[in-house]
Amino acid sequence: MSDQTPQTPASGTPAGWYPDPQNPSQQRYWDGTSWSQTAPVPPAPPMPPVPTAGAAPETSTKAIVGLVLSILAWVLCPIIAAIVALFIAHSSDKEIKASGGSIGGAGLNTATRIISWINIVAYTLGGIVIAALIGFGVLFASTSGIFDIDPSINTRTGLADGQYVITSVNIRVNLTDECSYGGMARDSAGTDLKDVTVYGTGPAQCPDLVEVQAVYFDVQGGTATITRVE
């Protein structure tokens, strides 16, 4: 700064800060009668505000509930709980989309869908396999003689000796080479007598017929013997 005396302002200039006559880029204080000896240091420019990171979006409660339910579905109400979890995930997606970014959880909904669909497919296929095994077991048990037919039923018809026919066969069991038929027995005159069951064995008495129309049998000495099957 120059040591020359600054120019005096016009008479009557009130006290205050004014451009320094010697250095207009600075200011100097005029107390009404004289200039101050030093000009104030210009204030430092304000620091630009430091940007703050945006707040993380709130996680959708439905997304959390759906994920937890999809996991519990493996031990609690399989398939049904998984389907409910899928509906919750769908509702959560709509909520997230409508929030404009203030609610998150789309990743949880994706995980819910994956876990739920695996649950549904696994339990459905498992049910099919179990049903098939049960059916196979019943078939195997039937053909292996576990459900053997009692041949003594031929001694319990209660019919007198003679020839009879069952024309309305309402029971038919055929296990390998054994069979039994049940229905209303008629005598040779065509009179309905009583419901009976008769036992047969071998291909002649147990032919592989899809539908049995009539079973002819004789009763001798109180024991029935199938003579023909149509």
> What does the pLDDT look like over 68-93, one tens digit per residue?
999 998 988 888 999 999 999 999 99
Please report the beta strands in 143-201, taking only residues with DSSP state E, as ranges in sequence order. Answer: 162-175, 178-186, 192-201
Please give the structure tokens belonging to residue 215.
């079973």
Q: Which of 200, 129, 115, 208 is nearest to 166 (CA)?
A: 200
The model's confidence at residue 142, banded by pLDDT at 50, 70 and 90, is: very low
Q: Is pLDDT at 155 greater than 90 in this prediction?
A: yes
Name the range with the highest mean pLDDT among 28-42, 116-130, 146-160: 116-130
Q: What percent of the chain has pLDDT above 70?
A: 82
What is the average per-residue pLDDT within 9-18?
A: 75
Integer Cα distance of 85 and 94 in angstroms: 14
Q: Which helix (H) or strand (E) holds 129?
A: helix 106-143
Q: How much is the mean pLDDT over the chain?
A: 83
The model's confidence at residue 7, banded by pLDDT at 50, 70 and 90, is: low
Integer Cα distance of 105 and 99 in angstroms: 12
Please give the structure tokens belonging to residue 92.
């959560």
Please give the structure tokens belonging to residue 106.
């789309």
